[in-house]
Structure 1
């Protein structure tokens, strides 16, 4: 473990202050992921039918997932842009910008006419707005985790980083709930206007999240970097020059938390509804239940990570997911609603063992002057790879004559990559303990 000790005075932080900042970061992140997950569900249930209607069912689903993947491809670009803003001008302005971008883009998706109304312009507009979403999310998560961790006492960073991670299941919970409710509508009403309601809700939710987030203060670590004139001129360039190996480790460590999640949710919803013929509401409700259970699991795993280390927790989560991948898909193949709920819930819980500590692990891989860029780019390069996993899983399923073992093998591979990332990452930790000291209240 390396300790970074910049010259100058120390900055005291308290658990109370850290909790307030982490909650503000969480609220914004929950909205970000609500918007992002909403698109994934719609890609599986709506966009394939209403925006790619000239294609056969399999090709339409793959085209919808390809549009879904566009957002992930844009995320590393967003990470570079907002990493520059966050490391040069402050974590706070970067986070305010990202939340506005994704909230507006998601709301506008609810206003786009479908293919039957405006033809090819419909899927093009969908792809452009997905691109905007991707750019914003590219800077959101890394900034939220960074500002939460940098306000936290060093010995309690795991729990506050995990609090930001709860934004993911809460976002899933909100988006799944919204879709579950509109799926109660008659099919004609759902296709005509019902699916748009969850997207339009992004506008009022944005107002609430922005009101809460605008009150957060700048990171004390960043403020001290300004005082000490330690900011990197071009953070991304310095990152590749001096911390390229750490970036690779960050990508590997984050891979399961993003990619595995989308295999067990976005792909699983499509697989159950479109391949197995299971009722759509069963699949969506399974992700809803999994999200509820994931929240306490994230808190628990974050606390345990403080004791055993984020790297060890990442290894444990990766190995457990790899072992469980095939049995989980066997349960889904039964087409039994209870078995499907159990499979998706257990799958998400196994992934969460690693996901809960991803923020803590990644922030400890990079020094403060490169932290926003390193965390954001590492996580979102993993996201760029992950975004096309539902598409890859669909292709593997087709190539294997709809045999789910092929997708289980893909999930196991992702999990083992993350286990290796956790193992290496635990040996590359950087702390700035003397830059930020604890002062409990």
Structure 2
């Protein structure tokens, strides 16, 4: 049965049983959520970049170049398989114990896992133990990210007035380009080293930097207060026993819509990032520094695109921005990959910058849309499961596209184009259908 959408119910300083949110505190909480998320994505994207240009040579040395790249990208994709498990586990913690404890646990887990990658000996030093340990650390990263993003989004929007949630959810999303910027920037710097030095120790430095960054992010996150909406759930005894199971049993349609609306923001990014790095360096023979720099420039532009999309969502609705952004990706996919296939350094750079940023439009409002799709009792779990199941489905896309290209008689980018168009279509449909299932909260806005 179709649910009738409800407009946000708010009050200002009136007596009501609704949770009280402090409008002035909302920005501080969202910024704290953003800092932790930026570290999470920095750690996660480091692995993606290294999978394309480092791990295939140092941890899978017994394979031929194409097989090594496939194995490396498969290890990268393993983290996506772990993400729904992390979403399930941390969703239970976030919806039962609290948003804050779950967020602290996730940031510690991913920071330690990433730092340990920088300490991991290569295949030449310890043999097959090296790629196995690499996969295990990637799985730990995936478990942590499975609970991180959904929790950061949940706590940011639940501290905010309903009509301003899109901007604060978008602020959390800026953690993604900042993480990319830091990861790509770190690799751009170490790539300036001589090849021997880069392979011997240079590539490890960005991973080892996760340890001091973790200390900073943890200090900031520990100062975040618990969500007023979660406190209200505790007081009213409305917490579900196993919230993640409730999402599957009571809200399966919303879960499917949530997965669909998340696909292009995640999968599209990895098509233009991880796959593009591998494809342009391995198949087209371009310099890896060129492509890493392109992702760096794209991340800078995202710092403007994401908040603009968030503000637009406050006026037009997150589902409309999701639909609009998906249409842009669908229309631009073929021309952008034609530009990449020219092997022109300028056109390749422009295509990657534009591709990442058109995918950023639906990604910017994904948190706001998912937050309204699920009720507070199952919100942490619902957001996390939707986003991370979408991540698991799209995490192997670089691997699939690379495998199809390797087996083609004449290598071309058509597998990536087909994947991109399919993801854009599914996200657009999901955005359109989700408008009938939105669930805004009732809160009291306290300005002081």
Instruction: Look up the match of 2:250.
Output: 242
Instruction: Look up the match of 1:232.
Output: 240
In the alignment, the residues of structure 1 paired with residue 59 and residue 424 of structure 2 have an alpha-carbon distance, to the nearest angstrom, of 33
Deviation at 1:13, TM superposition (A): 1.9
Unmatched runs of 5 consecutive residues or more in structure 2: 10-14
Instruction: Look up the match of 1:414.
Output: 423
* Structure 2 counterpart of 1:364, from 364, 372, 380: 372
SS in structure 2 of the partner of residue 437 of structure 1: strand
SS in structure 2 of the partner of residue 152 of structure 1: coil
Residue 285 of structure 2 corresponds to residue 277 of structure 1: yes
* Structure 2 counterpart of 1:51, from 30, 48, 59: 59
Instruction: Look up the match of 1:303.
Output: 311
In the alignment, the residues of structure 1 paired with residue 23 and residue 348 of structure 2 have an alpha-carbon distance, to the nearest angstrom, of 40
In the alignment, the residues of structure 1 paired with residue 7 and residue 167 of structure 2 have an alpha-carbon distance, to the nearest angstrom, of 21
Output aligned runs, 1:63-82, within 5 Å. Answer: 63-82=71-90
Residue 444 of structure 2 corresponds to residue 437 of structure 1: yes
In the alignment, the residues of structure 2 paired with residue 397 and residue 320 of structure 1 have an alpha-carbon distance, to the nearest angstrom, of 25
Conservation of the 8 A alpha-carbon contact between 1:4 and 1:367: no
Deviation at 1:326, TM superposition (A): 1.0
Deviation at 1:437, TM superposition (A): 2.3
In the alignment, the residues of structure 1 paired with residue 64 and residue 445 of structure 2 have an alpha-carbon distance, to the nearest angstrom, of 59
Deviation at 1:348, TM superposition (A): 1.2
Instruction: Look up the match of 1:151.
Output: 159
* Structure 2 counterpart of 1:336, from 311, 336, 344: 344
SS in structure 1 of the partner of residue 71 of structure 2: helix
In the alignment, the residues of structure 2 paired with residue 2 and residue 385 of structure 1 have an alpha-carbon distance, to the nearest angstrom, of 31
* Structure 2 counterpart of 1:24, from 32, 56, 60: 32
Output aligned runs, 1:418-429, within 5 Å. Answer: 418-429=427-438
Instruction: Look up the match of 2:46.
Output: 38
In the alignment, the residues of structure 2 paired with residue 192 and residue 364 of structure 1 have an alpha-carbon distance, to the nearest angstrom, of 48
Deviation at 1:337, TM superposition (A): 1.8
Residue 187 of structure 2 corresponds to residue 179 of structure 1: yes
Instruction: Look up the match of 2:392.
Output: 384
Number of residue-to-residue matches in the alignment? 439
Conservation of the 8 A alpha-carbon contact between 2:100 and 2:225: yes
Deviation at 1:3, TM superposition (A): 6.5
Conservation of the 8 A alpha-carbon contact between 1:75 and 1:138: yes
The runs of at least 4 aligned residues of structure 1 exceeding 3 Å deviation read 2-5
Instruction: Look up the match of 1:201.
Output: 209
Aligned CA distance change for structure 1 residues 8 and 86 (closer, same or farther; 3 Å): farther
In the alignment, the residues of structure 2 paired with residue 415 and residue 129 of structure 1 have an alpha-carbon distance, to the nearest angstrom, of 31
Deviation at 1:25, TM superposition (A): 0.2
What root-mean-square deviation, in Å, do the aligned CA atoms of Structure 1 and Structure 2 show? 1.4
Conservation of the 8 A alpha-carbon contact between 2:341 and 2:412: no
In the alignment, the residues of structure 1 paired with residue 373 and residue 381 of structure 2 have an alpha-carbon distance, to the nearest angstrom, of 12
SS in structure 2 of the partner of residue 426 of structure 1: helix
Deviation at 1:339, TM superposition (A): 1.2
